[in-house]
Amino acid sequence: MSILPLVTARAKLFQNGGSQAVRLPKSCRFPGNQQEVVVHREGRRVVLEAPDEWPAEFVRCLGAWPEEIERPKAHRLRALKDPF
């Protein structure tokens, strides 16, 4: 729960071809280089938010590990005895 006051603004809906679109007010716009957003519902609300992005350095190193990573052996858990 946020302790900051909610700033409410109205946005216009319009049709763009066969899709519905939202014209965001200036105070709610995403950065100019933002190409997409994640959309989900929370009850009656439709929430738009910037996707989590992996840092470019991390993406570059994916698959760059020189050898296979050894997986630890799976151990069975002992049956826990009831202490009472």
**How confident is the model over 31-44, as pLDDT tens digits?**
988 889 999 999 99
The pLDDT of residue 17: 92
Give 9's pLDDT tier (boundaries 50, 70, 90).
confident
- Distance separating the N- and C-terminal Cα atoms of the chain: 40
pTM greater than the 0.75 cutoff: no
The pLDDT of 40-67, averaged and rounded, is 84
